[in-house]
Structure 1
Amino acid sequence: MNSAELDDLEDWVGRDPAGRAARAAEIERETGDDVVRMRARLIRADVAERNGELRAAAEAMWLINEWAHAHGNRYLIARSHLLLGRTYRNLGDVAALLEHAVAAVEALEETVAPRRRLPYVVKYADALTETGSIDAARERYRQAEELARHSEDPRDRIMVLNNHAYAEHLAGEPGRAWAVVRRMRATAIAHGYRLDPNDLDTVASVQIALGHYEDAEQTVLAAITGYPDAPLEADALPEFLLTLAITRRLLGDPGNAQQTLDLCREQCEAHGHGEILVRVMQEQAELYAATGAFRQAFTEHKRFHAAEKEVLSAAREAQARNRQALFEVNEARQEAERFREQARRDPLTGLRNRRHVDETLPALIDNATRTGVPLWAALLDLDHFKQINDLCTHEAGDRVLVEVARLLVASEPAGGFVARLGGEEFLLVVTGLDQSGTAAFLERVRATIAGHTWREMAGDLPVTVSIGAGPAMPGDEQADLLARADARLYEAKRAGRNRVSAGGALCR
């Protein structure tokens, strides 16, 4: 399995969605690579969302997003945000669309090839357009064009220009939109590329806005002719037919306009395109009015309004259901996060626990041995802690443990962490310091605890710690590193307690 096939499957939109999902499922089953498995799973979620399986798709996207964050995989973070943005956009939540689009772009590493970065910048620009920030969108489309220049496929630059032209059209700037259309056409001609039906639909929309109805008619006819050979959504053909009917009415050709509208209605009724069918009714009323059949126009216009209310009501109900489904997904995700966090925290002190250590420390050791950045494990043990429990009660002992934990957190080094391993034993993981720096840091920790005021909790009994620390070495497992630190801790206790022992490998 190579990444090129995954790239193709991620880009394989509009063609044989069932085949795309099936191939992704095969990859997910066969691979032993977790990253490949997650990419394949995200492709399946993409297909599911396009098929209307919103809840299952959103759950998968969020789980993959969380996995990617936990494993530092910035590409999967970016792609999952990209797809989540589209999911929320389809619910009409353009604010969430923009939020996810920004997160997707920010997550991409600089090493990602320009062509793989391109869709993220375009979708960011599209999101800015939909939130009314056309000036900011223009800058992003310009950046996307620069990225597209690195691609050998002219369709990449045409895709950018098509989206930019449609954005200008939506912003009520037909003149600007036409200037972009002209550049798109010039690019296609220069590379011997024929614009696909979606590109032509954008061109026709701009031509209609400019009043160039004859040109728009020819453009839409070309889109319809190219429809069978293009990977388009199922509602593309009735959309093109409706645009053609409108254009012919505007041209003063009601006979052909009616024939085209009838064909569009047949397509909608045969394939269940209810929302387009409502717009067919609206256009039918316009067409009756254009031919002087005002009574029929009035009747059809009433039918249109009734159908529009029904469709809007159904759409609102579906949107409410989908929003509830996503709310439940998010709520369950947050609840699971809370449970996961609680399972990795010591209930008394709030510090990380042994489970967190077992999940986190091996990766830190591996990174340290690969990069050469020093990593030290320091074990801290409270001296004569049993006396505090026996003479001052277990409640006092718990208060001492909580306060020690607070002091350790206050001293926590960047890049490391503090954990309670059990009883009176704690772990401090220190990164980026050499032996002398680590010893000095741990000595400050020891002195802070020894110099703290403990009388309220422990009476006249002293509260001190012994600390033993050892460095991670090539080939180390977690057990090796902790055994090295434990041996140094034993040295510190044997030497009289309330001291630090930090050194390298033990002599045997």
Structure 2
Amino acid sequence: MTVTAVTRASAGSAALAAVHAARAAELDDLEDWVGRDPAARAARAAEVEQEAVADGDPVSRMRARLIQADAAERSGDLRAAAKEMWLINEWAHEHGNRYLIARSHLLLGRTFRNLGDVAALLEHAVAAVEALEDSVPARRRLPYVVKYADALTETGSIDAARERYQQAEELARHSTDIRDQIMVLNNHAYAEYLAGEPDRAWAVVQRMCTTAVAGGHRLDPNDLDTVASVQIALGQHAEAEQTVLAAIGGYPDGPQEADSLPEFLLTLAVTRRLQGDLAAAQHTLDACRDQCEAHEHGEILVRVMQEQAELHGAAGDYERAFAEHKRFHAAEREVLSAAREAQARNRQALFEVNEARQEAERFREQARRDPLTGLRNRRYVDEQLPGLIEQTLRTGDSLWAALLDLDHFKQVNDRCTHEAGDRVLIDVARLLTEMEPSAGFAARLGGEEFLLVITGMDGSQATEYLDRVRAAVADHPWGPVTGELPVTVSIGADAVAPGAGQAELLARADAQLYAAKRAGRNRVCVGFGLTSTHA
């Protein structure tokens, strides 16, 4: 290649790397985007997916698909979303992408939470945090720790949750975006409120307000809704009214959910009733009802009926309060029944997705196993060994490939039976499994040839270990299977060398195996670069 060609190739690689980096940054933004236009978010993610396919960027492609699954789950398409999340989780495990492992667990946790399974929520939250690498920047790690704390809150472990919120606060201090600190404090305050600790919640709210003022940040409506909830719990009704009015005044600024405005209006109606301003409370409640009916917020509309009954009672109109209370209970039962039916359908859908996933996992596992012996097969070796070699060369550890071949195996098939030959292969595989090194694996490559991959041993240790394997085969009581025919193995092994790949490593091990056969069989030959030893 000419100097000009090398320069052009280098420039092309740099340009492609810049494209990938810009795409990764955009995907960061899309993952963080929880705005009011999920369709636009999903559409852009679909475009990014196609762009990533076009220039060979598989990680970005999977990230874009996960964003689309997130949007689908938020819009209610649980079955398709959960299936996609599991598929991406499996892809991430197969390719060792810990960020996508973490991200998919995070979203799966929310899926289970929406089904009411808080135990599964916590399990996925823990898996998400554990999957993150230490190199992940503090700001990217932050949402995972917060969601873990939220999960602990929902499972009743508020003390453990407080520790995680504290950890999240430390992470947020590394962020240049003040909203990260506000998010942590808002979630912590709401957790204390849910735990029935309004005084603790108020202390966190005050820290949140102080942080916002110091950073020149205005609390968004969702933050203010938390403040108002705590104020109501403390009996600060007038203050809560002003807080909710500020939230409504800030709407729709910020990343609000679709039902935020009617929720704010309902809270405002409650604060006005508690202060005795029943006319203003009724006017606000009517506005909330109009919002619910216009946008089909059925669950909030049921709570509107409950508040209407409270208003009638506060006005002394107990007959209308009783009638409205009956309507409320009837509607509540209907909503709960519909919710249970929807939850049952969603659980069944998720169960079917899990069943399909587990079945696919079984098929994948079977495809990587030798059907006769149960050992790993050539496909597994081709998938795993290159990565182990790369890791070994990067870390400076040792890795050995040892080829084992049964001596005179054709005589077993010819003089005994093929069934006896299969029995020998199965018993040898069992011996290899029993002696399999903890940090390696055994495989059957085909016929009477096996492979042992060994890590963490020096030359003398590898030689000693392989000779124990050889002896175990030779000393096994073969009489019931082969009669007077002995069963032995020849073993050739070599260590990975700088710049070597799988093909070269196995070729060098095969050369040592040939040397063992030539030297009389039932022995071990181990190569050390240009030298070898016989056992």
What TM-score do you get using the length of structure 2 for normalisation? 0.92
1:97 aligns with one of 105, 110, 121:
121
2-side partners of 1:503 and 1:15: how far apart? Answer: 64
Instruction: Identify the residue that residue 21 of structure 1 maps to in structure 2.
Output: 42
CA contact (8 A) 1:488 1:502 kept: yes
2:517 aligns with one of 493, 497, 502:
493
2-side partners of 1:354 and 1:453: how far apart? Answer: 29
Instruction: Identify the residue that residue 338 of structure 2 maps to in structure 1.
Output: 314
2-side partners of 1:207 and 1:361: how far apart? Answer: 61
Instruction: Identify the residue that residue 424 of structure 2 maps to in structure 1.
Output: 400
> Within the alignment, does 1:174 sit opposite 2:198 as a pair?
yes
CA contact (8 A) 1:134 1:171 kept: yes
2:325 aligns with one of 301, 309, 315:
301
Q: Residues 139 and 370 from structure 1, CA distance in 2 versus in 1: closer, same or farther, beyond 3 angstroms?
A: closer
CA contact (8 A) 1:161 1:181 kept: yes
> Shift of the alpha carbon at 1:506?
6.7
Deviations 1:4-38 (A, max 9, x none): 22221111112422222222222222222222222
SS at match of 1:244: helix
> Within the alignment, does 1:227 sit opposite 2:251 as a pair?
yes
2-side partners of 1:491 and 1:353: how far apart? Answer: 25
SS at match of 1:146: helix
The number of equivalent residue pairs is: 507
Question: Which amino acid in structure 1 is aligned with residue 159 of structure 2?
Answer: D
2-side partners of 1:478 and 1:102: how far apart? Answer: 36
2-side partners of 1:298 and 1:326: how far apart? Answer: 41
2:354 aligns with one of 316, 330, 336:
330
- The range that moved more, 337-346 or 495-504, is 495-504
1:211 aligns with one of 223, 226, 235:
235
2-side partners of 1:494 and 1:441: how far apart? Answer: 21
- The range that moved more, 27-36 or 134-143, is 27-36
CA contact (8 A) 1:345 1:353 kept: yes
1:40 aligns with one of 39, 64, 80:
64
Deviations 1:234-278 (A, max 9, x none): 000000000001111111111111111111111111111000011
Instruction: Identify the residue that residue 452 of structure 1 maps to in structure 2.
Output: 476
Deviations 1:434-457 (A, max 9, x none): 333322221121111112221121
2-side partners of 1:177 and 1:472: how far apart? Answer: 59
1-side partners of 2:129 and 2:496: how far apart? Answer: 36
> Shift of the alpha carbon at 1:171?
1.0
2-side partners of 1:462 and 1:304: how far apart? Answer: 85
Question: Which amino acid in structure 2 is aligned with residue 27 of structure 1?
Answer: V
Instruction: Identify the residue that residue 4 of structure 2 maps to in structure 1.
Output: none
> Shift of the alpha carbon at 1:57?
1.0
> Shift of the alpha carbon at 1:373?
2.4
> Shift of the alpha carbon at 1:464?
0.2
> Within the alignment, does 1:150 sit opposite 2:171 as a pair?
no
2:301 aligns with one of 260, 277, 281:
277
SS at match of 2:179: helix
Instruction: Identify the residue that residue 12 of structure 2 maps to in structure 1.
Output: none
CA RMSD of superposed structures (Å): 1.5
Question: Which amino acid in structure 2 is aligned with residue 351 of structure 1?
Answer: L
CA contact (8 A) 1:383 1:463 kept: yes
Instruction: Identify the residue that residue 190 of structure 1 maps to in structure 2.
Output: 214
1:88-487 matched pairs, under 5 angstroms: 88-487=112-511
- The range that moved more, 470-479 or 481-490, is 470-479
Identity %: 78
CA contact (8 A) 1:368 1:375 kept: yes
CA contact (8 A) 1:484 1:506 kept: no
Question: Which amino acid in structure 1 is aligned with residue 88 of structure 2?
Answer: I
- The range that moved more, 27-36 or 146-155, is 27-36
> Shift of the alpha carbon at 1:504?
4.3
Question: Which amino acid in structure 1 is aligned with residue 190 of structure 2?
Answer: Y
SS at match of 2:252: helix
Instruction: Identify the residue that residue 31 of structure 2 maps to in structure 1.
Output: 10
Question: Which amino acid in structure 2 is aligned with residue 30 of structure 1?
Answer: E
CA contact (8 A) 1:108 1:117 kept: yes
CA contact (8 A) 1:268 1:276 kept: yes
2-side partners of 1:147 and 1:365: how far apart? Answer: 36
1-side partners of 2:443 and 2:33: how far apart? Answer: 46
CA contact (8 A) 2:36 2:258 kept: no
1-side partners of 2:179 and 2:379: how far apart? Answer: 50
1-side partners of 2:348 and 2:477: how far apart? Answer: 53
1-side partners of 2:60 and 2:525: how far apart? Answer: 45
Question: Which amino acid in structure 2 is aligned with residue 19 of structure 1?
Answer: A
Question: Which amino acid in structure 2 is aligned with residue 20 of structure 1?
Answer: R
1-side partners of 2:494 and 2:374: how far apart? Answer: 25
What TM-score do you get using the length of structure 1 for normalisation? 0.97
2-side partners of 1:106 and 1:361: how far apart? Answer: 25
Unmatched 5+ residue regions in structure 1? none
> Shift of the alpha carbon at 1:505?
5.1
> Shift of the alpha carbon at 1:483?
2.0
2:51 aligns with one of 30, 51, 61:
30
> Shift of the alpha carbon at 1:481?
2.2
Question: Which amino acid in structure 2 is aligned with residue 11 of structure 1?
Answer: D
Deviations 1:60-114 (A, max 9, x none): 1111111222222222111111111111001111111111111111122222222
1:65-80 matched pairs, under 5 angstroms: 65-80=89-104
- The range that moved more, 486-495 or 369-378, is 369-378
Question: Which amino acid in structure 2 is aligned with residue 319 of structure 1?
Answer: Q
SS at match of 1:30: helix
SS at match of 1:503: strand
2-side partners of 1:239 and 1:196: how far apart? Answer: 15
